[in-house]
């Protein structure tokens, strides 16, 4: 009788498949069938049922379920700790609880969850295969780029008093708070051996990471060193393109992506280069300086460089403006040229979702 409704107006659904229903709130379990099993390792059936009341404030959640505030608080605390729930400050100052849209980045790259044992790790690998098989970011013909490239080095004209949306260093300096986290893609299923302590999150995402005990708060200096270290390793700096929409201008994270493990770059290539990335720059070759040595070609993850008639040539359709090739050129023959951004990004990588069913 424990799971039946006991108070008029309050509902607790029949517990036939609470993990499946919770999985449906996060994703499509037909496409990622390992997800309900992962959830069953993270929370109990009773906890899963209570979480189905999300999103809302504690008072709103209490009105929807048959549970004391104390139990509900404990469930939310636990779910937040394992990465299933985000706590977001509402406009009225009340904390609102919601599911994270990028749930795998909070559940599956938290090495504390790895302590759940071999079953969790096996499901984790299975989830990675299922997720990648379906091309999560392939949103159809109307899809717009959801991420922007932050060049490794900005040309002088790119530096302005106001934080330009592509200046990773200025973004780091302007942030109220910075946290260094694991790169979810490489941590979950990476094969390249490149570093995983590379993802920087800022401000409210940093607050959330610290509240969950996930990641490490870093100073401006340390965060800038992360950018330098990851650029030297040949990783591409990216962030969301939400800043192109009227409602948003903040930068919540800077990722450092490799073409082999990164879901974002994978979706960029899989979508015929239409989907993932907004490029603000293109590489330019100074033909007077270029010796045609070819050293830059290996640095470009986007296949945008070729050597022709003894000099490097840039294919502007392919260049993402990441700037990694600049550091590879011994003759300083490469630079970046700013290009106009013509489209408005559709928001494909939200952090908080949750239509109630």
110/263 with CB nearer ligand SF4: 263
What's the gap between Cα 67 and its chain centre? 34
Query: CB 304 → ligand SF4: shortest distance, Å?
Result: 4
Using alpha carbons, select from 50, 91, 103, 96 the residue that is nearest to residue 72: 50
Q: What is the DSSP string of 110-160?
A: -TTGGGG-HHHHHHHHHHHHHHHHTTTT---TT----EEEE-SS--GGG--
Query: CB 5 → ligand SF4: shortest distance, Å?
Result: 41
Question: Could you tell me whether strands 178-182 and 197-202 are parallel, antiparallel, or unpaired per DSSP bridges?
Answer: antiparallel
17/318 with CB nearer ligand SF4: 318
Query: CB 357 → ligand SF4: shortest distance, Å?
Result: 29
Q: Are 106 and 83 in contact (CB under 8 A)?
A: yes
Inter-CA distances, 168 with 133, 176, 251, Å: 31, 14, 10
Tell me, letter by letter, the H, E, C secondary structure of 81-120.
Answer: HCCCCEEEECCCCCEEEECECCHHHHHCCCCCHHHHCHHH
Q: Which residues of 338-352 are buried (b: 16+ CB within 10 A; e: fewer)?
A: beebeeebbbbbebe
Query: CB 16 → ligand SF4: shortest distance, Å?
Result: 35
| CA–CA gap between residue 167 and residue 50 (Å, rounded) | 43
Give Dmax over CA atoms of the chain in angstroms: 82
Instruction: Give me the sign of the Cα torsion angle 226, 231, 232, 234.
Output: positive
Inter-CA distances, 23 with 51, 100, 315, Å: 11, 12, 43
197/207 with CB nearer ligand SF4: 197
Reported residue count of the chain is 357
Query: CB 322 → ligand SF4: shortest distance, Å?
Result: 4
| CA–CA gap between residue 71 and residue 221 (Å, rounded) | 42
Query: CB 293 → ligand SF4: shortest distance, Å?
Result: 4
142/288 with CB nearer ligand SF4: 288
Using alpha carbons, select from 246, 315, 243, 328 the residue that is nearest to residue 278: 243
120/302 with CB nearer ligand SF4: 302
| CA–CA gap between residue 131 and residue 185 (Å, rounded) | 11
84/334 with CB nearer ligand SF4: 334
Place of tokens 């870093």: 218
- The footprint of ligand SF4 (CB under 6 A) covers 183-186, 199, 255-257, 261-264, 283, 285, 290-296, 299-300, 302, 304-305, 307, 312, 314, 319-325, 328-329, 331, 333-334
| CA–CA gap between residue 13 and residue 18 (Å, rounded) | 9
Query: CB 6 → ligand SF4: shortest distance, Å?
Result: 44
67/320 with CB nearer ligand SF4: 320
Query: CB 272 → ligand SF4: shortest distance, Å?
Result: 16
Query: CB 140 → ligand SF4: shortest distance, Å?
Result: 21
Query: CB 2 → ligand SF4: shortest distance, Å?
Result: 40
Place of tokens 């033909």: 287
169/282 with CB nearer ligand SF4: 282
69/133 with CB nearer ligand SF4: 133
52/296 with CB nearer ligand SF4: 296
């Amino acid at each position: 009788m424990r799971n039946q409704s006991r108070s008029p107006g309050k509902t607790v659904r029949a517990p036939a498949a609470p993990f499946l229903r919770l999985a449906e709130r996060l994703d499509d379990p037909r496409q990622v069938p390992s997800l309900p099993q992962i959830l069953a390792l993270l929370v109990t059936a009773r906890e899963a049922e209570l979480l189905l009341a999300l999103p809302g404030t504690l008072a709103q959640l209490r009105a929807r379920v048959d549970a004391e505030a104390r139990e509900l608080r404990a469930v939310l605390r636990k779910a937040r700790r394992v990465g299933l729930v985000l706590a977001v400050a509402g406009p009225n100052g009340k904390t609102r609880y919601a599911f994270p849209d990028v749930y795998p980045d909070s559940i599956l790259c938290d090495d504390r969850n790895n302590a759940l044992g071999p079953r969790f790790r096996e499901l984790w690998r299975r989830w990675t295969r299922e997720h990648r098989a379906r091309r999560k970011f392939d949103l159809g013909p109307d899809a717009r780029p959801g991420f922007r490239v932050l060049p490794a080095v900005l040309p002088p004209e790119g530096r302005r008093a106001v934080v330009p949306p592509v200046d990773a260093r200025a973004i780091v300096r302007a942030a109220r708070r910075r946290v260094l986290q694991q790169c979810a893609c490489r941590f979950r299923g990476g094969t390249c051996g490149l570093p995983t302590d590379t993802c920087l999150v800022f401000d409210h995402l940093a607050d959330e990471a610290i509240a969950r005990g996930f990641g490490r708060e870093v100073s401006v200096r340390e965060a800038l060193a992360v950018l330098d270290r990851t650029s030297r390793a040949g990783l591409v700096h990216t962030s969301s393109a939400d800043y192109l929409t009227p409602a948003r201008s903040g930068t919540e994270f800077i990722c450092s992506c490799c073409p082999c493990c990164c879901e974002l770059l994978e979706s960029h290539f899989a979508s015929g280069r239409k989907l993932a990335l907004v490029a603000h720059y293109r590489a330019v070759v100074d033909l007077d300086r270029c010796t045609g040595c070819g050293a830059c070609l290996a640095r470009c993850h986007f296949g945008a460089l070729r050597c022709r008639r003894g000099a490097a040539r840039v294919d502007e359709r392919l260049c993402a403006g990441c700037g990694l090739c600049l550091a590879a050129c011994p003759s300083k023959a490469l630079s970046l040229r700013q290009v106009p951004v013509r489209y408005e990004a559709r928001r494909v990588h939200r952090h908080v979702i949750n239509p109630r069913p």
